Amino acid sequence: MRIIFVNTETKINEKSRTAPPQPLNLSTPVVHIRQKLIWAQSIQFIRPIVIEIPFFGINLHHKTRPMIDTPRHQGLRKKLVEGLKIKGIKDETVLAAIGRTPRHAFMESSFINFAYKDQAFPIGAGQTISQPYTVAFQSQLLDVFPLCKVLEVGTGSGYQAAVLCQMGAKVYTIERQRELHIKAKNLLQELGYHMSFFMGDGYKGLPTYGPFDRIVVTAGALSIPEELPKQLTVGGKMVIPVGPPDKQEMLLITRIAETDFKTEKHGSFIFVPLLKGVVNQ
Ligand code: SAH
């Protein structure tokens, strides 16, 4: 067992991971995204590049806000990905998605210079943007495949949702705080990410939109919210940190049959709490 340094939202013990590396399915729209980026990267030495952020599905006529992504940002992102590899993230799809997601766009302006540090930072409303290692670890455990239907509980800044979208998932994300829900929705839409945004209590999931192939909860739950496992497909997986506020166990729950669930433990983390109800301001 390895001890990993602790921050506000950090893994503190690591056990070996199980999900095998998942190659990009080159028959999906991800190919187009990649081609676009390869082209963009090839001109980066001429001037700071303006990337139209990739999105789920093809819609070349959608409205986007051009995103300034300088060679410095790209260099820092590359370093971040190298750091994640050293910390044990092996899934190439996850690493590629983190390498393509401009975390600086999701940060509050006062923290923008720290965007590529492997740390959680405040995003307002008493919440944090997840630490990249945590995002990578949960995404890796989730074992996402292209076009799979993923429910994320806790939109927050929208960064984890963007990473899942980059991995080719169809993302449904829910947030209980209106301020964060609106901010993330506007940002992700302006950047060109296509996903579904919901304002509500993720404890209950999204029964009318399920079942989901994957569910990821990005806040620490005292216990497993009863409604969530029921919204998994058979064969579906849920990644959720569960435990008291000072330390949660990362659980991987697999629905192996209609009424049969398997639970695996994947080390300890500290998350902001999963809370009931909504905040409408
Ligand atoms: N995935 C986010 C992490 C945000 S922190 C990111 O990448 O930035 C966790 C988020 O979960 C917070 O925004 C918090 O408001 C939200 N949250 C907590 N309890 C919730 C609930 N019951 N339903 C939906 N969102 C919840």
* All domains in the chain, ordered by first residue: 13-269 (3.40.50.150)
| pLDDT at residue number 158 | 97
| pLDDT at residue number 29 | 35
Give, in degrees to the nearest 5, the angle at Cα 120 between 114 and 121. Answer: 60
Determine how many CB atoms are found less than 10 A away from the CB of residue 82: 12
Instruction: Judge if the beta carbon of residue 150 lies within 6 A of ligand 1.
Output: no
d(CA 142, CA 252): 8
Q: How far is CA 237 from CA 133, 202, 211, 249, in A?
A: 20, 16, 11, 16
| pLDDT at residue number 39 | 35
DSSP single-letter state for residue 176: S
Instruction: Judge if the beta carbon of residue 121 lies within 6 A of ligand 1.
Output: no
Q: Which residues of the chain have pLDDT under 70?
A: 1-66
Backbone angles phi, psi at 5, to 5 degrees: -60, 150
What's the CA-to-centroid distance between 128 and ligand 1, angstroms?
Answer: 9
| pLDDT at residue number 67 | 74
Q: Which atom of ligand 1 is nearest to the CA of 159?
A: 7
Q: Which of 268, 248, 252 is nearest to 19 (CA)?
A: 252
Instruction: Judge if the beta carbon of residue 54 lies within 6 A of ligand 1.
Output: no
d(CA 234, CA 239): 15
The set of catalytic residues is 130
d(CA 24, CA 33): 12
| pLDDT at residue number 113 | 84
| pLDDT at residue number 188 | 95
